[in-house]
Structure 1
Amino acid sequence: MVFKRRNKLTPLTWLARSLWPKGGWHRAALYLQHRLHRLPDTPQTISRGVFAGIFSVFSPLFGLHFVVAFAFAKLVRGNVIAALLATFIGNPLTYVPIGVVSLKMGHFILGTEFNHMHERSFSGKFLDAADDLLRNFLAIFSDADANWNALIRFFHEVFLPYLVGGIVPGLVAGLVGYYLTLPMIVAYQARRRKKLKAKLEKLREKAQANHRKP
């Protein structure tokens, strides 16, 4: 397979690469920029894809950001590959500030109170909700009673505020990404066209010179 690794990563190596990519985040950012520049599409379409990808990162649907980015890119007629690449903005270093900002904004919009304990128990509430799902699934095959308290608490205290609150900062961050990448892609594609034109001109001159030879 084209994208299959020769050496399979161990769970610890995968976790370490998630926190710190091989070569560092700076090199990863340069790689992302290089890939965006070389996408075969218009600058506006690519930048709309970047907008969609960044916006999707502000969704509480962890593990489904690729799906959200794909769907939103289709909605705004953006480049899907650019949208998937732009989800790189969401990583272990940025998820905490994104989550805190989205939660605070969501509680503000909904008129509920933001408890600072949420910041320290954010991952814990995800684990509690997952534990509820597992226990209630196992309850189907046993005499245990289903208990949805953790899921209900998670929905009202985390998921709903996160979902609502992530819209505004997600739109702002997406627009920033759009207006930052658009001129860069326009300039890159113009330089690339100029280089290709010069290369074709040299080939044409060489062909004409060879044709004139006796």
Structure 2
Amino acid sequence: MVFKRRDRRPIWQIVLEFFWPRGGWGRAARYVKHRLHRLPDPPEKIARGIFAGVFTTFTPFYGIHFVVAGGLALIMRGNVLAALLGTFFGNPLTYLPIGVISMRMGYFLLGRGPHDGEEVHRSLGGKFLDAGADLKDNFVAMFTDRDMDWHNLGVFYHEVFFPYMIGGIIPGLIAGLIAYYLSVPLIRAYQKRRKGVLKAKLAALKKKAHRQADGGPKAD
């Protein structure tokens, strides 16, 4: 194959680069910062988009964070691209603490402990696997004579998804507001400095054009 990789990466390297890219998360963060600074909208609109993106990372809607962040940015009249970039606040290094904080807050707000359920013998990861198995089995049941069983999905919703969704609201708002109020002055300063650079370049081009015009051949 012409476009096939010559050096096939081992599984451990693929997993390692998922959690720590070759350029590092610092490089990814600098790229996001660069893209945010170059957006043409007012700082407040861009910051509202960033708020939407950061807040969305505290929700359990994995796989559709882009959709949720974009929709929230439209409702808030924020910059949609900034919202999409803001979701990079959630990454393999931050999802675990985000999940722990959201789940603990959810159990606290709902007035119950993390083990108040009938499926206490199953770990959090096990409940994810059980819910996925239910989805797969029920999909197959649609085309066969097998009976559908939503028990594990019900356990997942009541013991994981709902507490996560409720508990992520407060820390999501706090993180989003911090990102908003930090972004506005930084973006405003960058845009002001960039306008100054562009103005200086334009003035230099005009000066060069006048100099060439003055030094050119004069008509009789």
Task: Give TM-score scaled by structure 1 length.
Answer: 0.89
Which is greater in Rg? 2
Q: Indicate which of 196, 199, 203 corresponds to 2:205.
A: 203
| Cα distance between partner residues in 1 of 2:4 and 2:200 | 42
Alignment of 1:28-67 (within 5 A): 28-67=28-67
Correspondence for 2:125: 123
Counting aligned pairs with the same residue, the percent is 54
Contact 1:18 1:91 (8 Å CA) reproduced: no
2:187 aligns to what SS in structure 1? helix
| Cα distance between partner residues in 1 of 2:18 and 2:78 | 27
CA gap 1:7/1:203 in 2 versus in 1, 3 angstroms:
farther
Correspondence for 1:99: 99
Correspondence for 2:114: 114
CA gap 1:101/1:11 in 2 versus in 1, 3 angstroms:
farther
| Cα distance between partner residues in 1 of 2:167 and 2:97 | 13
- Structure 2 spans left out of the alignment, 5+ residues: none
TM-aligned CA deviation for residue 110 of structure 1: 1.4
| Cα distance between partner residues in 2 of 1:37 and 1:99 | 29
Task: Give TM-score scaled by structure 2 length.
Answer: 0.87
CA shift digits 1:154-211 (9 cap, x unpaired): 0100000111111111111111111111111111111100011111111111122222
Correspondence for 1:73: 73
| Cα distance between partner residues in 1 of 2:136 and 2:10 | 23
| Cα distance between partner residues in 2 of 1:151 and 1:88 | 28
Q: Indicate which of 166, 169, 172 corresponds to 1:170.
A: 172
- How many residues matched? 208
Correspondence for 1:23: 23
Correspondence for 2:85: 85
Contact 1:57 1:65 (8 Å CA) reproduced: yes
CA gap 1:160/1:186 in 2 versus in 1, 3 angstroms:
same
CA gap 1:157/1:174 in 2 versus in 1, 3 angstroms:
same
TM-aligned CA deviation for residue 127 of structure 1: 1.5
Query: RMSD between aligned alpha carbons?
Result: 2.3
CA gap 1:166/1:11 in 2 versus in 1, 3 angstroms:
farther
Correspondence for 1:157: 159
